[in-house]
Structure 1
Amino acid sequence: MLQSAVLGAGLFAGLASAVVAVPADAKTTKVGGVYAVSVAGFRFAEGRLSLIVQNDAYSAKLDMHSSGLGRLFSSGKGNAEATGWLRRAHVTPARYDLRSNSGKRDATKVSMALSRGAVRKLAVSPKLRKVPDRIPVTKRHKRNILDPLSAVLFPANGSEAKLDASACKRTIPVFDGWTRYDVKFSYKGTREVKNPDYEGTVVVCGARWVPVAGHRPHKVSVKTMADNRTMEAWLAPVGDLPLFVPYRISMETNMGPLVVEARRLRMVGEQKQAAAINE
């Protein structure tokens, strides 16, 4: 479930301690907060994601752990890190690493290096089991993709993050190390939100999950996800950047509504003169 939360929405922020080399006069924006993950109203996990954008480079880190009711079933925890560039309304990832452990099974690991949107090096554990009905992942499925953590960055198609249908006008191609899928977004409207650190307007997008490769198309879980019409992503603008990040992700499941929502969300942007930032 920890990995699913990273993939599906990937979306949970908290300003982590960091030492980041920054060129003099580099414009730096930080996003941080805490996201609660709940099913049927019961919290079972918490996520913290730090995002630092320096000019056109980004660095993101996500930490997740069991929380609330989830502690009764698992001592699971996981973390993911991603780096890359935001250029011309495009996200271009360079590196992605994932480590997660449920406490009852072997750790899940992904190490991925990318160049110009294509996977150059990949190591995953465990390997996908070979079965006749699985759609094979080929080299073309590893080109022009985003990793699951970089996929939570929504660059605007222009010089500012407009709170209109343009925020949702996108299809995100994701490769997680095992499977390749698309997430297609559509505009549904806007909402006003408020929490201790963030208050403002968010754009509400509908979302559809479309399997491409690495999946077994006749499995019930794959069909259920592909047929789900209840997925939503609420996108919050990041300061004065032409960029959005998710405020809330939700979908209906057979266990009740799955919701990932910001409990705290902080955004800080400033002109840095120092050679390094120490938080």
Structure 2
Amino acid sequence: MSGFKPFGKRLTATLATLATLCGLATLVSPTPALAKKASVGGLYNVSLAGFTIGRASLALVLQGNAYSAKVGLEPAGIGTLFSTGKGSATASGWLVGDKVVPSKYQMASRAADIDFYVALTQGSGHIRSFDVAPQFRPNKERIEVTNKHRRNAMDPLSAALMPVSVGKSGLSEQACKRTLPIFDGWTRFDIKLSFKEIKDVSGHGYNGPVVVCSARWTPVAGHRPSKDSVKQLTQAKMETWLAPAGREDVLIPYRISVETETGELVLEASKLNIEGASSDRAEN
């Protein structure tokens, strides 16, 4: 289980990265019908190579075109044998037309006796200021993150809010046609989604069709190109399965998978709760 150590050292940061890969936060279409308050909650199992290593939680509140979201992660199953780390991340901002315009993001966690912290302020689709700890040690190989890299970028949790154009079904290949520019406080990277298929699933809080998106991680800045972890993640097979939450233009993640050197890392919904919208397909 030596491959579990990197996961434990940046427990919440890993969750945030997975969120951008596959949409751990709820995906919402900014239509007039969402003017009323709505909330979505979810619990997720986290497994590595078939073994449970963690539990994740999701809470999202929509009030008009404003949003606030929170995710949490803590060890579970055999994960408790390798790490005492846990943490959470929060984000807030606005849905403007078919765009997500973040305002604030904060992540805090403790793992392997190290505290991790990120605070971002954002506006007009750019990172305005940031505070992170710990900072990377100086390394000549590391690609420097410049102001250019923080323009047209957003935090990991807000990036997982994916508006679907009005008049188009969220449960279609259109949901996967996007590239997400992410800055997590340390690194800048892109996640490119592409449509794979629509399939039926059952259990874990939802019975019905899901749209499956393939994902590709592309490093932009803040990374060291020669690192094995960077090379592996660039080539890794990734997917997200998106399920409707009682209406066509609101999607939530059902399953996330990322190929790693020690096996498949999977986040899968174990319980979904929808309030403030039709939820005849959601099960408590």
> TM class by shorter-chain length?
0.7 to 0.9
**Equivalent runs, 1:9-88 vs 2, <5 Å:** 9=19, 26-88=35-97
Q: Distance in 2 between matches of 1:12 and 1:71?
A: 22
**Whole-Å separation in 2 of the counterparts to 1:160 and 1:28:** 22
1:39-73 deviation line (CA, Å, top 9, x unaligned): 01101011101011112111001111111110001
* Letter in structure 2 aligned against 1:115: G
Mapped contact 1:35–1:46 kept (Cα < 8 A): yes
Deviation at 1:181, TM superposition (A): 0.3
Identity percentage over the alignment?
Answer: 46
Q: What are structure 2's unaligned runs of at least 5 residues?
A: 1-6, 27-33, 279-284
User: In the aligned structure 1, how far is the partner of 2:137 from the partner of 2:233?
Assistant: 20
Instruction: Give the aligned residue type for 1:254.
Output: E
TM-score by length of 1: 0.87
Q: Letter of the 1:6 partner, please give it.
A: A
The 2-side partners of 1:146 and 1:55 are apart by 21
**1:121 and 2:129 aligned:** yes
**Which letter maps to 1:128?**
F
Q: Which residue, 149, 170, 178 being the options, matches 1:141?
A: 149
Supply the distance in 1 between the matched residues of 2:226 and 2:250 (Cα, whole angstroms). 37
TM-score by length of 2: 0.86
Counterpart in the other structure of 2:30: none
- 2:171–2:248 CA contact under 8 A, matched in 1: no
Question: Once the two structures are superposed, what CA deviation does each residue of 1:73-99 show, in whole Å capped at 9, x if it has no partner?
Answer: 111100000001112221111000000
Provide the C-alpha distance between the structure 2 equivalents of 1:168 and 1:13, rounded to a whole number of angstroms: 15
Give the distance between the partners of 1:76 and 1:194, measured in 2 at CA: 32
Which string of whole-angstrom CA distances, capped at 9 and with x for unpartnered residues, describes residues 215-241 of structure 1?
Answer: 11111110111112x210111234437
Contact 2:54-2:75 within 8 A present in 1 as well: yes
> 1:193 Cα deviation (Å)?
2.1
Considering fraction of residues, name the structure with more helix.
2
Note if 1:153 corresponds to 2:198.
no
C-alpha separation between the residues in 2 aligned to 1:42 and 1:56?
39
Aligned residue pair count: 259
Letter in 2 for 1:36: N
Contact 2:170–2:251 (CA<8 Å) still a contact in 1?
no
Contact 2:24/2:160 (<8 A) preserved? no
Q: What RMSD over aligned residues (CA atoms) do the two structures have, in Å?
A: 2.0
Q: Look up the match of 2:209.
A: 201
Structure 1 residue 197: deviation in Å? 3.0
Unmatched tracts of structure 1, length 5 or more: 15-24, 272-279
Q: Does 1:183 align with 2:218?
A: no
Pair 1:131-2:139 in alignment: yes
Matched-pair contact (CA < 8 Å) for 2:210–2:243 = yes
